[in-house]
Chains A and B, each alone.
Chain A
Amino acid sequence: MSNVLLEARELHTYYGSSHILHGVDFCIHKGETLGLMGRNGMGKTTLIRSMLGLVKPRHGTVSVRGDVMTGGPTHRIARQGIAYVPEGRGIFPNLSVRENLQMAARAGVDGQRDWTFERVMQTFPRLAERINNGGGQLSGGEQQMLTIGRALMTNPDLLILDEATEGLAPLIVREIWRVIREIRDSGIATVIVDKNHAAVTSITDRSMIVVKGQVVFDGASTEVRNNPELIQKHLGV
């Protein structure tokens, strides 16, 4: 078995008549850390949603662990060990912190149970303090931790973080990056979408830059970091 977890070939996705993705190729391997960058509206989130079956691509294929699952049921793709932390967070406001976490608990694809309730509590001491609070009563940063914690409870092999630090206080952002690093070191492959390219390139092995629905760069993160022109051209504001 190859060690490609998630792969997309020649993806074309439309929202109504607007053509968002223009033939995107994507892949991520086991244990790899990938940064996905690009300005707003370039198609990063659409790419993720297309691969997870939340949006149906019009052309192209998506394969999960080598099996073609283009536009397939999202829950089945998720069951293949892919956890998604959506942009703008996604807690269940009418469930408590504990319930939010427990509803996601399951063993990973290979039966691994590395991430237990206790371990999530250790990783996020802030959540442990608020275990019986309703999800809707948490601060933005705490909600983000809860979303990441909930994703970990599914014992994924791949974690996709879409704008995990957006709109959070600097102290919380630092805490989130610490956790992302810890997740990476535990061997879970991660796709990180974030505006902070310095932070992304320092934490990831590989980077992709998307411009207007096309991949304009796919290579080592060090290459992006040492190339200010590339950053200025595609990511600068």
Chain B
Amino acid sequence: MNPRIALVLKLAALVGLIVFPSFGSSFYTEMVAKMLILGIFAMSLDLLVGFTGLVSLGHAAYFGIAAYTVALLTPKYDPANFWIALPAAVLAAAAAAFVIGLFVLRTKGIYFIMVTLAFAQMVYFIFHDTALGGGSDGIYVNFKPDATIAGWQPFNLDEPLQLYYFVVAALVAVFVFLTLVLRSPFGKVLVGIRSNEHRMQSLGYATFRYKLAAFTLAGGLAGVAGFLYAVLFGFVTPEYLSWHQSGNVLMMVILGGMGNLAGAVIGAFAFIGLQEMFADWTKHWQLLMGGVIVAAVLFMPGGLSALPGRVLKKLNQESKHG
């Protein structure tokens, strides 16, 4: 698609998000906030899957670690300090990704998929089977982190509307940040690794370090999403780091179109939207969802984000021939 049109569409989407709460009820505002947070999560995974060519099936681990960090940092009867909780959550997720990355990045292809899953399951069972985070019952975040500094409160996450706008701002920030990263020489190296890692090594790049940096960065950004998710719902359970969650976010990326940041966000919206819709119809909603994913892979190369471009091309061809 023409980059100018794409920019206009993105800005229009942003305006839509900004005015949305004045139309939707608070239920829908919270649902859109959830979609946006999962959009951040999906973008972080897309950095690995779509740009570096690393298909991780354990990305929920970093999301969950950040969510648990907020929960564990929040005292029972007081809010946590926002300026400590957010960096701590992101750093914990990034540190976990760094350490796990040191091991898993030594493998390739199907083995990489399996070991990322294995490590994520280890983290899952740490929280599921120990009393650290309340075991399988999870843990409540009774108070949302407080952003007051020196008596001044720049924003109040207890206000649903302010929380919503904070999530929108976070999405924009992560989107812009990743766009700049991918535009930088570092981003070009990642794309090079995806198309041919040996070739990059022959050019003198120590590809392991680049992959580790990407893996750590993706873990940290998944942590941003995990932090927001815990704050939005005030509740953290081991399910946040289960392999279902890892699978869901991978499906969002595939649905939206791999290697396209806006696509990852579109994928998150579509996934949650379809999930809500199907769950309304039947309790076997996963069956329908599976069908949609299979159909998307078969008939929509490039995912939803590539759809407008393909439709335009088709129309152009027809107008030329017709």
- Chain A residues engaging chain B, CB cutoff 8 angstroms: 52, 54, 73-76, 78-79, 83-84, 86, 90, 92-95, 99, 102-104, 106, 150, 154
Residue B295, interface by CB 8 Å: no
Residue B189, interface by CB 8 Å: yes
Residue of A nearest to B200 (CB): A75
Stretch of B103-111, B159-167, B191-199 on the interface side: B191-199
Residue B202, interface by CB 8 Å: yes
**Is there an interface contact between B201 and A75, defined as CB atoms closer than 8 Å?**
yes
User: Contact mask B199-223 → A, CB, 8 Å, 1/0?
Assistant: 1111111110000000000000000
Q: Can you offer 6 A-B residue contacts whose CB atoms are under 8 A? A: A73-B201, A75-B201, A75-B203, A76-B206, A92-B191, A102-B185
Q: Which residues of B contact A94 (CB under 8 A)?
A: 191, 194-195
**Is there an interface contact between A73 and B206, defined as CB atoms closer than 8 Å?**
yes
Complex CA gap A90/B206 in Å reads 18
Residue of B nearest to A80 (CB): B204
**Is there an interface contact between B202 and A52, defined as CB atoms closer than 8 Å?**
yes
**Is there an interface contact between A103 and B203, defined as CB atoms closer than 8 Å?**
yes
**Is there an interface contact between B201 and A78, defined as CB atoms closer than 8 Å?**
yes
Residue of B nearest to A96 (CB): B188
Complex CA gap A175/B201 in Å reads 28
Residue of B nearest to A53 (CB): B201
**Is there an interface contact between A92 and B196, defined as CB atoms closer than 8 Å?**
yes
**Is there an interface contact between B204 and A75, defined as CB atoms closer than 8 Å?**
yes
**Is there an interface contact between A78 and B199, defined as CB atoms closer than 8 Å?**
no
Q: Which residues of B contact A102 (CB under 8 A)?
A: 185, 188
**Is there an interface contact between B192 and A95, defined as CB atoms closer than 8 Å?**
yes
**Is there an interface contact between A150 and B203, defined as CB atoms closer than 8 Å?**
yes
Complex CA gap A52/B203 in Å reads 11
**Is there an interface contact between A75 and B207, defined as CB atoms closer than 8 Å?**
yes
**Is there an interface contact between B189 and A86, defined as CB atoms closer than 8 Å?**
no
Q: Which residues of B contact A52 (CB under 8 A)?
A: 202
Residue of A nearest to B201 (CB): A74
Contacting residue for A74 out of B188, B191, B192, B198, CB 8 A:
B198
Q: Which residues of B contact A73 (CB under 8 A)?
A: 201, 206
Q: A92-B192, A103-B185 are in contact. Are A75 and B198 (CB under 8 A)?
A: no
Q: Which residues of A contact B199 (CB under 8 A)?
A: 86, 90, 92
Residue of A nearest to B207 (CB): A75
Residue of A nearest to B193 (CB): A92
Complex CA gap A78/B202 in Å reads 6
Complex CA gap A75/B199 in Å reads 10
Contacting residue for A78 out of B185, B191, B192, B204, CB 8 A:
B204
Complex CA gap A74/B203 in Å reads 9
Contacting residue for B192 out of A103, A106, A154, CB 8 A:
A103
**Is there an interface contact between B191 and A95, defined as CB atoms closer than 8 Å?**
yes
**Is there an interface contact between B206 and A75, defined as CB atoms closer than 8 Å?**
yes
10 closest cross-chain pairs (CB), A and B: A78-B204, A74-B201, A79-B204, A84-B202, A75-B201, A75-B206, A90-B199, A103-B188, A92-B195, A92-B192
